[in-house]
Amino acid sequence: MKRILSTNAIKLKLPSTIKIHPVVDVSRVHMYKDQVKGHKKEWSLPVIIKGKEEYKVEKILNKRKFRGKNRYLV
């Protein structure tokens, strides 16, 4: 949080890569909660194939289109 603008609006400090308006309603802001123990995702190491990093996918859980490209939940 950067600063409080009024009783119902705050200005957020965001990285330049996030392209949203930095002023939001306070009802949208929540305290950070740690993940439940045992629910942390363990990232597997990539396999190098022809000089490129590749990952082994066990199962595709969902697929959606986002900005004209397919995105997969694995």
Can you tell me whether residue 27 is helix, strand or coil?
A: helix
Q: For position 44, what pLDDT does the model report? A: 73
Calculate Rg over the CA atoms of the chain: 19
Whole-prediction pTM? 0.39
Q: For position 39, what pLDDT does the model report? A: 66
Q: For position 65, what pLDDT does the model report? A: 92
Q: In a structure prediction context, what are the per-residue pLDDT tens digits for the chain, which is 74 residues long?
A: 677 888 889 998 888 888 888 898 888 888 777 766 666 667 777 888 888 888 888 888 899 998 899 998 88
Where do the structural domains in the chain lie, given as residue ranges?
3-28+46-73
Is residue 62 within 8 A of residue 46, CB to CB? The reply is no
